[in-house]
Amino acid sequence: MMNRTSNILVRHGRLVAGAIAVAVIFLGTAQAYCAVMDSTLVEDAYISADGTESNTNFSGSTVLKLRTTTSVWRNALIQFDLPLLPVGESVVKVELILTSASNTSGVGGTPDIEVLATTAAIDLSTVTYNSANPSLHSGGAGGTSALVWSGVWSDFTADGLIPGADFSVSQTVNYTDDDDTQGLLKFVQDNISEVSNTNLTVGLGFVIREGNDGTTSLGWDIASQEVSGSPILRITTAAAAVPEPASLGLLAIGGLLIAGRRQR
């Protein structure tokens, strides 16, 4: 009787161990097929329509300024080289990570911030508001600081907004897009390559003019590549088919049932 009981325990112990091994193998596979990669920050700058600033290049500034009032528009531009896409994988999430370089406050808070992108060739080390070719700015069409997206920028509409707020100095603001129907994620998916790095420029501006909608913010300053907290464009990839955690449990149960039948 003891020998029979011992054999049953050993048999079931082997079944459990085998099922766990199967689950671990598949879990390891799921993790191996995922990658998180930061794009290379090439250059950043901002353009300004304010007086003599319209002919000034701000690529060496420690901050990237956003501002929109009656006669002053400033837009931040950030350029990245996308990493190579691992063979057999696709991009499933894109994060634009920014760090506030100053406190922003005012009645109504900072307006919503639009996130746009382009692969047009732009030299941010020389670009100014007046010299940009192609033209990068609308001149405040409709009382906003909207960038010109016709023929240059991809407009992500509601999928491309950082909700307005009063940001505090050193606060990290993470714009995440994991919906690939449109927006920055879809843009990256369409332009990333397995064989060469794609140059991509992100443009930032306010959706409405400050003061137009009860806001009295003085804009927003973002840390540039000249200081700590520089902008990050983070890419997350995954294999086309990766077992879900629930599937791993079903696989383990299936392994137990199959092995149990064989033991009989």
Residue 229's pLDDT band (boundaries 50, 70, 90)?
very high
DSSP for 203-259? Answer: EEEESS-TTTTS-----EEEE-TTSSS--EEEEEEEESS---HHHHHHHHHHHHHHH
Question: What's residue 99's pLDDT?
Answer: 98
d(CA 233, CA 35): 14
Q: Which residue has the higher pLDDT, 168 or 18?
A: 168
Task: Determine contact, residues 135/148, Cβ cutoff 8 Å.
Answer: yes
d(CA 240, CA 238): 6
Question: What's residue 264's pLDDT?
Answer: 52
d(CA 79, CA 160): 17
d(CA 212, CA 33): 48
Half-sphere exposure of 5 (CA within 13 A, CB side): 2
Question: What's residue 130's pLDDT?
Answer: 85
Question: What's residue 40's pLDDT?
Answer: 97
Question: What's residue 51's pLDDT?
Answer: 82
| Sole residue written with tokens 């033209």 | 135
Task: Determine contact, residues 108/230, Cβ cutoff 8 Å.
Answer: no
Of 50, 51, 68, the residue nearest 217 (C-alpha): 68
Encode pLDDT of 154-205 as tens digits: 766 666 788 888 899 999 999 999 887 778 999 999 999 999 999 999 988 8
Question: What's residue 170's pLDDT?
Answer: 96
d(CA 66, CA 77): 10
d(CA 128, CA 137): 10
Q: Would you call 75 helix, strand, or coil by DSSP?
A: strand
Evaluate if residue 108 carries a pLDDT over 80: no
Whether residue 134 is preceded by a cis peptide bond, meaning omega within 30 degrees of 0, is: yes
Predicted TM-score of the model (pTM): 0.76
Evaluate if residue 149 carries a pLDDT over 80: no
Give me the residue spans of the domains in the chain. Answer: 2-32+243-263, 35-239
DSSP for 78-109? Answer: EEEEPPPPPTTEEEEEEEEEEEB-S----TT-
Q: Exposure of 85 by Cβ count < 10 A (0-12 exposed, 13-18 middle, 19+ buried)?
A: buried
Question: What's residue 32's pLDDT?
Answer: 46
Residue 45's pLDDT band (boundaries 50, 70, 90)?
very high
Residue 26's pLDDT band (boundaries 50, 70, 90)?
very low
Evaluate if residue 33 carries a pLDDT over 90: no
